[in-house]
Structure 1
Amino acid sequence: MSSHDGSHKLWGGRFAGGPAPELEAVNRSIGTDLRLWPFDVKLSQAWASALATAGVYSAEEAALVRDGLDRVAARIAAGEQPIASDEDVHTFVDRLLHLEVGGPAGRLQTGRSRNDQVATDTRMWTMDALDRVDVLIRQLQEAILLQAEAQQDAIMPAYTHLQRAQPVSVAHWLLSHFWPLARDRQRVASARAAAAVLPLGSGAIAGSAFPVPREQLRDALGFAAISRNSIDAVGDRDFIAESLFALTMLGTHCSRIAEDLILFGSSEFGFVRYGDAYSTGSSMMPQKRNPDALELARGSGARMLGDLVALVGTLKGLPSGYNKDLQEDKRALFDAVDGMTLLLPAVAGSVATLRFELTRMREAVSGAMMATDLADYLVRRSVSFRDAHGAVGRLVREAEERGVDLSSLPFSSFVAAHSAFEQDVLAELAPERSLSHRDIAGGTGPSSVRRQIADAKQSLL
């Protein structure tokens, strides 16, 4: 199985000399794709069984190869490293298999190509990786949900344009970050389903010339379907693009969680206090408590987006079939998955160890934030919303000119703004009253938030 130059290459017979060192350096991918080895071993074991069904191996030879691959896996797991001539993971596994079983290893490449082999390995790795990512997203959701359950009765300002807008339940704000993560899990599941299509048996581009049972391979390797076109199968990396998009949206949502918490943890807001285990200090300023995990999360969306753009930019210019440009697909995929699997536990821990400064949050709710409630009060008394809006606007301006909160204005000011105001209007300036008006599905009212928490729990089952 060795090539003409004495190395263990899977190609080379038609060349008069070996490749230039510069080509070897750029062409060698094992520094990236070595992590595919468990899947390459499993794939090769399934392929040995398929070759037995196709008559290439006897049952005894297939068993010998499968056992040899178990020993190869044990060697790699124990720390065996590639040598200079192992240009990729497939060559590495094949070389070790030759050392373990000798001659029968030389027939394992029958009917398959590294083109369909790497496509299959990468799909298997992706399915496994997305399963792990899903677990980590769920753990972050659980951390958010636990905090939301504890803060159902607490009130805080909600913001539009980063300006105080209306009062909401703290739980309602927390759950506003739960549901984007639920959508992320749906996207991850969709990307996993896209990956679960078996390309093995497609050969280099035209399909295998041997009657390998692809249904047997599908079931043995945990795929849900079989590719329908060999040309498409070896060049298809849509599943990686879909995975990277799902991870990009996940990174975006982690970034938004982080941005809220970074703001709310600042001295200017003072709404939350970070746990010691998820904070860092300053090398110069002893008083500092820095939310480094959250700041790294805020940067994650850009990193995932960069990986997505790099892959799609590569794919858009490729002709059909396999092209060596696709060697770059795993760099983007591995980087995005590595980044997210490292980041998600730190974000979950940061959320789980937050302490909410409930008094500070409640004090940040001003009477002006109930301006819409005052307008609604008038609408319930048959005043048009346009006129109600104008009347409340005049009250807000008066409070600003006097330098007082809206709740400090005398009742005479309300009557002057609109004759439909009655004494009970002052009750509308309580934030609890504001929340009670919004007990609609998806709103911040107490009953609605309780239902939302129940729905969130159900979504995690």
Structure 2
Amino acid sequence: MAQPAKNENPIRLWGGRFTGEMDPLMNQYNESLSLDRIFYAQDIKGSIAYARANVKTGILTQEEFEKLEEGLKKVLQEWDEGKFQPAPGDEDQLLSVPLYIHTANERRLGEVIGTNVAGKLHTGRSRNDQIATDMRMWLRDELDLIEEHLVDLLKVIAQRAKQDIDYIMPSYTHLQRAQPIRWSHWLLSYAIAFQSDLERLRFTKKNINKLPLGSGAVAGNAFGIDRMQMAKELGFEGLIMNSMSAVGDRDFVVEMLQCASTIGSHLSRWSEDLIIYSTLEFSYVKLADAYTTGSSLMPQKKNSDSLELLRGKSGRIFGAMTGLMMSIKGIPSTYNKDLQESVQPMLDTVKTLRDGLQIAARLLATATVYPDKMRAALSPDMLATDLAEYLVRKGVPFRETHHLAGKMVALAEDENKGMDELTIEQFQGIDKRFGDDVLSVFDYERSVELKDATGGTSRRAVLEQLEALKKTLGG
């Protein structure tokens, strides 16, 4: 196989110390442009802010800055319009040049405005503080989008909870039928989880939004650059106050992955419930065709692939988090090349989570709910606790009423009847304190309405939860 021609003048930001060529396999192993090219806009904006600050240090004249800014904006426009042409030294993995977005942008800048001025841009700056800045800028913008998608999912949950508030279904513990609840109450149980995720996400964004730029390679900037000026221009809320920490920290990626893992866990459990509820054995919910697939062999099948993928991809997010934590847990302080391994899990997790939240919202908005199937799954034994509480209201201690209600459950099973089919005499045969009105207990609507304390499943309590959620969403 013919080898590409050697680049006679490869741009190496670190080239003066080295004269020998890099092993092509090592170059491929070292390559990052295929990933960090996504940071092109952040890299250029950071460079403009850095150049502007260096007018004040005297490194650049105002005229030189304006030339740099004009050139960088042209490079940005080329990227935006898909016209940026990578040079062999930027992209070809067989050449003896490590591949970085910084190299590509600076190389093109030199072509646009000349290397005399372009060569001044990197004064006092390192790839170490540059990539850390690029990543933080990119990630905070992506988390803004993820926040929007999470809010959208919460709005869909709230809308369905309000719309479907009269639907009553079984709740489950240990995957066994427990007590009657409103379908809306189940929906809002996940709203609470996603609401907590939203709060964590916002806190994570705040931690990310601190500027590393101006820290140099490790020891700081030697030209007295005004880092706060750059922070304000780039929209950062503050600075990372120690240069060693600034270049060696990837905790902000880990924190994002931890936050994403929690969201993924909630999406997974939510999906598992809906997978179960959409089976023919339950038939509480039917997914729209847009979020299901069929079988290549069995014509009758309608598979909930969207939910299964949401459940499965949560493991991918968890893996990204644990993988990165293992990569960085033992490295010494400041920058080490291991930190390059933070980029891929960050990019993959952001896309996985961003897509998943949108799928979840659309899936729920278009799902069909069958309240008759939910109600048909209710059974009188699910009101055994209500029966115990009936006697509590007559002054009987709960431990005693629990035992008596259990005896009524056993009697109904022996008689092969529903508890509501037993006679008054049979109730009073167990305990005389059961009154003539005892059968009024066996009313599912009554049962859910009795759970009226804050956080319960009564209509009022559900509406109260909806109101609280509305305030969190700011509308």
Per-residue CA deviations over 1:299-350 (Å, capped at 9, x if unaligned) read 1221111011011111210111100000000111111101111221111111
- Decide which of 377, 380, 388 is 1:364's aligned counterpart: 377
> Within the alignment, does 1:310 sit opposite 2:310 as a pair?
no
Is the 1:116–1:200 contact (alpha carbons within 8 Å) kept by the matching residues of 2? yes
- Decide which of 53, 56, 63 is 1:53's aligned counterpart: 56
Is the 1:166–1:369 contact (alpha carbons within 8 Å) kept by the matching residues of 2? yes
- More displaced 10-residue stretch of structure 1: 281-290 or 210-219: 281-290
* Paired position in structure 2 for 1:206: 219
Distance in 1, Cα, partners of 2:260 & 2:404: 48
Per-residue CA deviations over 1:107-149 (Å, capped at 9, x if unaligned) read 0000110000000000101101111100011111111111111
Instruction: Tell me the amino acid that sits aligned with residue 364 of structure 1.
Output: A
Distance in 2, Cα, partners of 1:190 & 1:81: 39
Q: Which runs of 5+ in 2 are unaligned?
A: 1-6, 91-98
Output aligned runs, 1:314-353, within 5 Å: 314-353=327-366
Per-residue CA deviations over 1:205-237 (Å, capped at 9, x if unaligned) read 000111111111000011001111111110111
Distance in 1, Cα, partners of 2:429 & 2:472: 51
- Decide which of 82, 89, 104 is 2:101's aligned counterpart: 89
Q: Which runs of 5+ in 1 are unaligned?
A: none
Sequence identity, in percent?
A: 41
Output aligned runs, 1:49-128, within 5 Å: 49-79=52-82, 80-86=84-90, 87-102=99-114, 103-128=116-141
* Paired position in structure 2 for 1:450: 463
- Decide which of 432, 450, 457 is 2:445's aligned counterpart: 432
- Decide which of 415, 420, 423 is 1:402's aligned counterpart: 415
* Paired position in structure 2 for 1:30: 33
Task: Tell me the secondary structure at the aligned position of residue 156 of structure 1.
Answer: strand
Shift of 1:75: 1.4
Shift of 1:284: 2.2
Per-residue CA deviations over 1:263-283 (Å, capped at 9, x if unaligned) read 000000010111122222222
Output aligned runs, 1:126-205, within 5 Å: 126-205=139-218
Is the 1:5–1:17 contact (alpha carbons within 8 Å) kept by the matching residues of 2? no
Distance in 2, Cα, partners of 1:346 & 1:354: 12
Shift of 1:62: 0.4
Is the 1:116–1:233 contact (alpha carbons within 8 Å) kept by the matching residues of 2? yes
Distance in 2, Cα, partners of 1:244 & 1:83: 34
Distance in 2, Cα, partners of 1:341 & 1:327: 22
Distance in 2, Cα, partners of 1:435 & 1:81: 65
> Within the alignment, does 1:16 sit opposite 2:26 as a pair?
no
Per-residue CA deviations over 1:221-266 (Å, capped at 9, x if unaligned) read 1100111111111011111111001100111111111111110000
Distance in 2, Cα, partners of 1:55 & 1:406: 88
TM-score for the superposition, normalised by structure 2: 0.95
Shift of 1:446: 1.3
Per-residue CA deviations over 1:52-79 (Å, capped at 9, x if unaligned) read 1111111111011011011101112232
Relative to 1, partners in 2 of residues 1:407 and 1:81: Cα closer, same or farther, differing over 3 Å? farther
Distance in 1, Cα, partners of 2:17 & 2:260: 43
Alpha-carbon RMSD: 1.3
- Decide which of 286, 294, 299 is 1:286's aligned counterpart: 299
Output aligned runs, 1:254-293, within 5 Å: 254-293=267-306
Task: Tell me the secondary structure at the aligned position of residue 437 of structure 2.
Answer: helix
What is the number of residues matched between the two proteins? 459
* Large movers: runs of 4+ above 3 Å: none
Is the 1:252–1:300 contact (alpha carbons within 8 Å) kept by the matching residues of 2? no
TM-score for the superposition, normalised by structure 1: 0.98
Instruction: Tell me the amino acid that sits aligned with residue 83 of structure 1.
Output: A
Shift of 1:201: 0.6
Is the 1:9–1:85 contact (alpha carbons within 8 Å) kept by the matching residues of 2? no
Distance in 1, Cα, partners of 2:370 & 2:317: 33
